[in-house]
Amino acid sequence: MPNKIHRHAHHRIVEEFTSPPLVDQKRRQLVTGLGLLPAALMLSGIGRAWALSNRVSIGTEGPYRVIRSNAIPDHDTGRFPNPGNPNAITAQDLSFRAPLQPARAGRYTIGKGWNFGVAVNGVPFDPFTAEFWLGDRNWNYDAIAGFVDLGLDENNAHVQPGGKYHYHGWPKGLIRAWSPNSHSPIIGWAADGFPIYAAYGYADPADSGSPIKAMTSGWRVRQGARQGGPGGSHDGRFFEDWEWLDGKGDLDRANGRQTVTPEFPNGTYAYFLTESWPVIPRYFAGTPDRSFRIGPPSGGHGPGMRPPPRGMHRPPPPGGMHRRPPGGGLP
């Protein structure tokens, strides 16, 4: 089957507005806290994105789906470099492959050190950060929890030192049109070969005639105090602050489920982006292909991140770090 080549128009140069008045900031903080706005919209200043052309091909080669791209998004971006992310967007030469007939592995594999998947526009989903408390890999700062400014734009994305643009949370520009009245389209493919959908699916995973609903995650912030490490109460700033509860939401630990979809009327395992944390799944239900491997970062930072902010080299002050409003979910 020949590859389908997509060439999109140059994405526009974007202007970001200066900071709104304090009253408007408080209103934005409220709706952001409710999951209605990504925290990235709180970014201020005038910025421009690179005017580059998106290129992506999606085809099949033997038993694999192969996705090649330059990782240039087909939508507007924020300003890069910016104070939280000093890197400029540049064209890449990416090639991913995933099985056409994926299978569940019978266990969940954590996605640290991997691109979780790749969007249909060729931009990788990479939800984990490469920043740790005092370099301790047992405490991994979360990009969308709202405690650390990593220079994310309104697509909850930023740029690696090598110039690769990638999504950490809800990719607003990728999902241009969605409706709470219809099943979400496929927005990408995971490293294990299963499809990735946006928020909406069937209420009954076995019945395509059942009502449409937003899929809910089973993850929540742990209760009580951290044992060791940075100390203090679990508040969501670290990946390790979160736990999954069986039966809490519609989805499993990997933010997926077995379900019928418009593209798979006989059923498939499928991942969903969710309004609440983790937004982008953090575990694989199948076996990821090594073409998606990033590899463990060295030191306190690594691919995709600027050097850790100063606050990450010492314990947080009494009362914790200043927290920005949480974000990364539905706009």
The b-or-e profile of 170-193 (16+ CB within 10 A means b, else e) is bbbbbbeebeeeebbbbbbbbbbb
pLDDT at position 77, please?
96
Q: What is the pLDDT of residues 123-135, one digit of tens each?
A: 999 999 999 999 9
| Average pLDDT over the chain, rounded to an integer | 80
SS3 79: coil
pLDDT at position 328, please?
59
- The residue among 115, 133, 113 whose CA lies nearest residue 123 is 115
Which of 20-34, 89-103, 155-169 is predicted least confidently? 20-34
Q: What is the pLDDT of residues 40-67, one digit of tens each?
A: 332 223 333 444 799 999 999 999 999 9
pLDDT at position 178, please?
74
How far is 184 from 310, CA to CA, in rounded Å?
41
Q: Going by C-beta distance under 8 Å and a sequence separation of 6 or more, which residues neighbour residue 140?
A: 112, 128, 129, 131, 132, 238, 239, 240
pLDDT at position 256, please?
98
- Residue range 260-264: mean pLDDT, rounded: 98
- Residue 146: which pLDDT band, with cuts at 50, 70 and 90? confident
Answer yes or no: are the C-beta atoms of 328 and 277 closer than 8 Å. yes
- Residue 202: which pLDDT band, with cuts at 50, 70 and 90? very high
How far is 24 from 46, CA to CA, in rounded Å?
18
Taking the CB of residue 33, how many other CB atoms lie within 10 A of it? 14
pLDDT at position 187, please?
97
pLDDT at position 217, please?
97
pLDDT of 307 > 90? The answer is no
Peptide linkage before 102 cis (omega within 30 of 0): no
Highest mean pLDDT among 145-154, 168-177, 280-289, 310-319: 280-289
Q: Going by C-beta distance under 8 Å and a sequence separation of 6 or more, which residues neighbour residue 69?
A: 54, 55, 56, 57, 92, 94, 118, 121, 122, 123
pLDDT of 306 > 80? The answer is no
How far is 186 from 38, CA to CA, in rounded Å?
21
- Residue range 182-208: mean pLDDT, rounded: 97
Q: What is the pLDDT of residues 83-111, one digit of tens each?
A: 999 999 999 999 999 999 999 999 999 99
pLDDT at position 107, please?
97
**Greatest CA separation for the chain:** 60
- What is the sign, positive or negative, of the torsion defined by CA atoms of 297, 130, 320, 281? negative
199's tokens: 């928020």
pLDDT of 205 > 90? The answer is yes
- What is the sign, positive or negative, of the torsion defined by CA atoms of 41, 45, 51, 55? negative
- Residue 223: which pLDDT band, with cuts at 50, 70 and 90? very high
DSSP 259: E
Taking the CB of residue 1, how many other CB atoms lie within 10 A of it? 6
Q: In which element (H, E) is residue 32 found?
A: helix 22-33
The whole-angstrom distance between residue 257's C-alpha and the CA centroid of its chain comes to 18
pLDDT at position 330, please?
53
pLDDT of 297 > 60? The answer is no
pTM summary value? 0.78
Integer-rounded Cα Rg, in Å, for the chain is: 19
The strand order across the sheet containing 64-69 reads 4-7, 55-61, 64-69, 94-99
pLDDT of 177 > 80? The answer is no
